[in-house]
Structure 1
Amino acid sequence: MRNGHRPLLAAATFAVVTTGVAYFFGPGAVPADSETKPAATRAARPATAEACQVSAKYPKRQLRGVWIATVRNIDWPSKTGLDPARQQAEYVRILDNAVRRNFNAVFVQVRPASDAIYRSPYEPWSQWLTGTAGEDPGWEPLPFLIAEAHKRGLEFHAWFNPYRAADKDDLTKLPAGHPARQHPEWVVKHEGKLYYNPGLPEVRAHTVKVITDVVQRYDVDGVHFDDYFYPYPGKETKFADEGAFTKYGKGKSLAGWRRDNVDKLVAQVGKAVHATKPYVKFGISPFGIWRNKSDDPSGSDTKGLSAYDAIYSDARAWIKAGSVDYIMPQLYWPRGFAAADYAKLVPWWANEVKGTGVHLYIGQALYRVGNKDVAAWTKAGELPAHLTLNRKYPEVQGDVYFSAAQVGKNPLGVLDKIVQDHYPRPALLPLMKERGGAAPAAPAGLRNSGGTLVWKASPGARSYAVYRVAGAKADDCATADARNLLAVVPATGAAEQSYTTTSQGTYLVSALDRLGNESPPVTATLP
């Protein structure tokens, strides 16, 4: 987020120094030389985590995301049949709302149900674009969706539903080229809908092919699954997968076999994503209760639906196997809720990821704020209190909100309070070491130009972090948290980058790669 464009009140006496901060970059890290002759330089002093007093209110790294649902036009586009310009304008407004709240990631539903919000060689255009499944919307949305997110410094996760085939069970109503129509043996009709049978290897292969295609062709930062695996219990209708179970069950119980089917898909997708582009993240947002303690002593102290038993979703297995990079449980209940207490579920999930390297983000029920069915949701302080509680558990590295329409509505003014108490500054993305990457070279040629900081672009930089410290000196802990972080400036692709300053002080600028690996900062003092 850029500051305003008010020029500096005083003519700037400009001094450039380079500062290596060992706390972030490792002992002995040396920044690239600035092309501007420094007025003063100093060697990096070793700094440790203990030496830097960081503030819980200003976390340097934190995922702050929002789901953008396309199914049933929940978030985008607002209705079917809009022209491309209107669709684009609506999407940009969603992104601008997110940036205004200091968010840094979007999770966009690109495959609601074996359809596509992009030009797919394997599945038809989504009905949620034009109103008619298979109808070309007249433009290619996904490159635009990704580019606009990146332009604003937002990480883009492509959200897929793995098993929903159609929202009606009449195969003849699907486009002629629809995979379910071409392979009716792949699907199960269940309570008025069509589902791909998770027990079939062909279904897993098709899903992996669809996702791999998107990762290959588009500049996504992540692949995301939501909580829809086997159908949720509805009318208690039996899911008709007996034939596949007979063929592939191999002595397992039905429930164990179903969980194994999901586990296999998760592992195959993770492997395919990372083999295609190692830096692309893969994560899942499961239902918030793995198992209840009454069913399993290692489960949570809850009394709600068990994802393990009801929809055969074993998030604990994915964490233990390292099949996912992150897990994002949907903790859509308030504190003190008898069946599923948020205050009990957060520590349970934190304990599950501890020491595994799997990141934990929390799915937050922004859509429930203001609802009168549960008294806690009528209070503007409930959701912000979730984030306060999260601070007690270092394993919690961020939050994602459902959904984008509610970010625009800001029910009970809750986002204003969240920004004030939790997101007053931007944040860098949490580092995911397993996905690789490397810090770019430090910005070079930093100079002042009429109240604007200008520097040469660093090869491989996705963005630049700009910090400001009041006064003419910044110590080795100046970038330890986000209290001094003014902006994360997206790379433009131009030879030079810039940031307009609004006040005097010491500015520090570092370069970030797409995974958030940060270079040493270059420092400019503007008296």
Structure 2
Amino acid sequence: MAAATAMTAMLASGEAAALGAPEGSGRAAPRREFRGMWAATVVNVDWPSRPGLAPERQRAELVALFDAAVARRLNAVLLQIRPTADAFWPSRYEPWSEYLTGTQGRSPGWDPLAFAVREAHKRRLELHGWFNPYRIANHTDPGRLVPAHPARVHPEWVVRYGGKLYYNPGLPEVRRFVQDAILDAVWRYDLDGVHFDDYFYPYPVAGQTFDDTAAWQRHGHGFPDRAAWRRDNIDRLIRETGRRIKQRKRHVRFGVSPFAVWRNRSTDPRGSDTRAGVQTYDDLYADTRTWVREGWIDYIVPQCYWHIGFPAADYARLVPWWAETVRGTGVQLYIGEALYRAGDPAQPAPWQDAAELSRHLTLARKHPEVLGNVYFSAKNVVADPIGAMARVVRDHYPHRARPPR
């Protein structure tokens, strides 16, 4: 705990030295703006730092991340609490996550989600529960799951693909179960939001087939092809989840952070001026544009993880496309930012410049539809190796802001 407190203190003191008059945007920072960070728990990306830590160490690490968010003048944490069909709370549906104790199903001896909600709200941070809908495991052996795991009780729900196990989105009973498992946390805790990431049908793996033929034959009648049926399956998940949230807790907001390219313009004239190798509509069967246009979600956070000028998917072309897409819908737009690329020696030259991320916000703020930004991920908010996050704070966050409503 002492180490975590010292880290937070150093971050806060360094931040104070870095802050000055706001630069870059050319206008005053808004008083309401979504400033979030993703905190990933899958394979212990951000928290806990490793499985099996003592509860007091886990709590100290989480508090340190929240304190870092406050020091960076953020106002929301998107905390992954269901990374692989498991739970960071005592779920009625799924086992305790192995990323807490090192053993799936073993209680950590405390309630991480209750603690997270309380500590986030104490710091005036919104806490959005981040859920991965269909991923069961990062391996293909059901025998490694606890015996009572739903995927072992219902092996007919499971598809092996790309070295992982997934629930089959084409089964209505799976869709209902996934919603029930997620909403268990929503009903029992004071979450501010429900958040899905970019994983729906899995990203394509060369030479492999996602085998949902039996489900397609059983449930695909009336669709022109399997792709249309798959998109409808995901549409139903989004539409039904949003409706069920609002029926019980109207104040809880529902958002998605998709891969940023819906479709390339060369594929569809309504698409973005990009040449991306993946298109969510065609490859993940996630019709993100329709979700916005129909108002099935409250906010969207496209992962615009490329630098300004990147030929295949230019940040400066994607942001205006998303601004136009949300215009007039009532769906709020926040931009997902690749903080993790800043200073990574494997990344191209623009990411070696500490000012690249600040330029992103300058560009985004030229579009009134953009109401904030979310940074991946929490450990990069803390470490900030080349000062890219500190530069964002100096240039754009002269004071804390409240999230938009």
Could you say whether these structures have the same fold, taking a TM-score greater than 0.5 normalized by the shorter chain as the test?
yes
1:280-319 Cα deviation digits (max 9, x unpaired):
0000000010000010011001001111111111101101
The yes-or-no answer on 1:324 pairing with 2:307 is no
Q: Which residue of 2 aligns with 1:77?
A: 48
1:41-88 Cα deviation digits (max 9, x unpaired):
xxxxxxxxxxxxx98332111000000000010000000110000000
1:388-421 Cα deviation digits (max 9, x unpaired):
0011100000000000000110121112111111
Q: Which residue of 2 aligns with 1:264?
A: 236
Q: Which residue of 2 aligns with 1:96?
A: 67
Give the AA of the match of 2:194: V
The yes-or-no answer on 1:387 pairing with 2:330 is no
- Please say if residues 75 and 401 of structure 2, whose CA atoms lie closer than 8 Å, have aligned partners that are also in contact: yes
Name the SS of the counterpart of 1:206 in structure 2: helix
Q: Which residue of 2 aligns with 1:201?
A: 172
The yes-or-no answer on 1:240 pairing with 2:211 is yes
Match of 2:98 among 111, 119, 127: 127
The yes-or-no answer on 1:369 pairing with 2:353 is no
The CA distance in 2 between the partners of 1:269 and 1:397, in whole Å, is 23
Once the two structures are superposed, the pairs formed by residues 111-510 of structure 1 within 5 Å of their partners are: 111-252=82-223, 253-304=225-276, 305-372=278-345, 373-431=347-405
The CA distance in 2 between the partners of 1:347 and 1:79, in whole Å, is 39
The CA distance in 2 between the partners of 1:320 and 1:178, in whole Å, is 37
Give the AA of the match of 1:346: V
The CA distance in 2 between the partners of 1:56 and 1:354, in whole Å, is 21
Give the AA of the match of 1:414: A
Give the AA of the match of 1:197: N
Give the AA of the match of 2:129: A
My pick for the range that moved more, 213-222 or 337-346, is 213-222
Give the AA of the match of 1:113: T
How big is the shift at 1:278? 0.7
The CA distance in 2 between the partners of 1:385 and 1:130, in whole Å, is 41
- Please say if residues 57 and 421 of structure 1, whose CA atoms lie closer than 8 Å, have aligned partners that are also in contact: no
The CA distance in 1 between the partners of 2:91 and 2:242, in whole Å, is 20
The CA distance in 2 between the partners of 1:212 and 1:134, in whole Å, is 19
RMSD: 1.1
- Please say if residues 34 and 75 of structure 2, whose CA atoms lie closer than 8 Å, have aligned partners that are also in contact: yes
The CA distance in 2 between the partners of 1:158 and 1:399, in whole Å, is 17
- Please say if residues 339 and 389 of structure 2, whose CA atoms lie closer than 8 Å, have aligned partners that are also in contact: no
The CA distance in 2 between the partners of 1:328 and 1:118, in whole Å, is 25
The CA distance in 2 between the partners of 1:56 and 1:291, in whole Å, is 33
Percent identity reads 56
- Please say if residues 211 and 269 of structure 1, whose CA atoms lie closer than 8 Å, have aligned partners that are also in contact: no
Poorly superposed stretches of 4+, deviation over 2 Å: 54-57
The CA distance in 2 between the partners of 1:130 and 1:428, in whole Å, is 35
Once the two structures are superposed, the pairs formed by residues 42-53 of structure 1 within 5 Å of their partners are: none
Give the AA of the match of 1:427: A
1:7-26 Cα deviation digits (max 9, x unpaired):
xxxxxxxxxxxxxxxxxxxx
Name the SS of the counterpart of 1:110 in structure 2: strand
How many residues end up aligned between the 2 structures?
A: 378
Give the AA of the match of 1:291: R
The CA distance in 2 between the partners of 1:135 and 1:234, in whole Å, is 33
How big is the shift at 1:234? 2.1
Q: Which residue of 2 aligns with 1:68?
A: 39
Name the SS of the counterpart of 1:412 in structure 2: coil
Extract unaligned runs of 5+ from structure 2: 1-24
Give the AA of the match of 1:290: W
The CA distance in 2 between the partners of 1:67 and 1:172, in whole Å, is 31
How big is the shift at 1:265? 0.3
The CA distance in 1 between the partners of 2:389 and 2:279, in whole Å, is 30
Higher helix share: 2
Give the AA of the match of 1:409: A
How big is the shift at 1:125? 0.5
1:329-364 Cα deviation digits (max 9, x unpaired):
000000000000000000000000000000000000
1:115-137 Cα deviation digits (max 9, x unpaired):
00111010000010011111111
- Please say if residues 105 and 155 of structure 1, whose CA atoms lie closer than 8 Å, have aligned partners that are also in contact: yes
- Please say if residues 303 and 340 of structure 1, whose CA atoms lie closer than 8 Å, have aligned partners that are also in contact: yes
- Please say if residues 215 and 276 of structure 1, whose CA atoms lie closer than 8 Å, have aligned partners that are also in contact: no
The CA distance in 1 between the partners of 2:384 and 2:267, in whole Å, is 38
- Please say if residues 146 and 219 of structure 1, whose CA atoms lie closer than 8 Å, have aligned partners that are also in contact: yes
- Please say if residues 111 and 159 of structure 1, whose CA atoms lie closer than 8 Å, have aligned partners that are also in contact: yes
Give the AA of the match of 1:226: D
The CA distance in 2 between the partners of 1:95 and 1:263, in whole Å, is 33
1:417-463 Cα deviation digits (max 9, x unpaired):
111110011111112xxxxxxxxxxxxxxxxxxxxxxxxxxxxxxxx
The CA distance in 2 between the partners of 1:430 and 1:256, in whole Å, is 35
- Please say if residues 384 and 414 of structure 1, whose CA atoms lie closer than 8 Å, have aligned partners that are also in contact: yes
How big is the shift at 1:235? 2.9
Give the AA of the match of 2:112: P
Give the AA of the match of 1:119: P
- Please say if residues 76 and 126 of structure 2, whose CA atoms lie closer than 8 Å, have aligned partners that are also in contact: yes
Once the two structures are superposed, the pairs formed by residues 21-36 of structure 1 within 5 Å of their partners are: none
- Please say if residues 339 and 375 of structure 2, whose CA atoms lie closer than 8 Å, have aligned partners that are also in contact: yes
* Larger-gyration structure (1/2): 1
Q: Which residue of 1 aligns with 2:11?
A: none
The CA distance in 1 between the partners of 2:259 and 2:27, in whole Å, is 28
1:479-523 Cα deviation digits (max 9, x unpaired):
xxxxxxxxxxxxxxxxxxxxxxxxxxxxxxxxxxxxxxxxxxxxx
Q: Which residue of 1 aligns with 2:30?
A: 59
The CA distance in 2 between the partners of 1:236 and 1:163, in whole Å, is 21
- Please say if residues 116 and 126 of structure 1, whose CA atoms lie closer than 8 Å, have aligned partners that are also in contact: yes
- Please say if residues 328 and 362 of structure 1, whose CA atoms lie closer than 8 Å, have aligned partners that are also in contact: yes
TM-score w.r.t. the length of structure 2 is 0.92
- Please say if residues 82 and 131 of structure 2, whose CA atoms lie closer than 8 Å, have aligned partners that are also in contact: yes
Name the SS of the counterpart of 1:289 in structure 2: coil
Name the SS of the counterpart of 1:198 in structure 2: coil
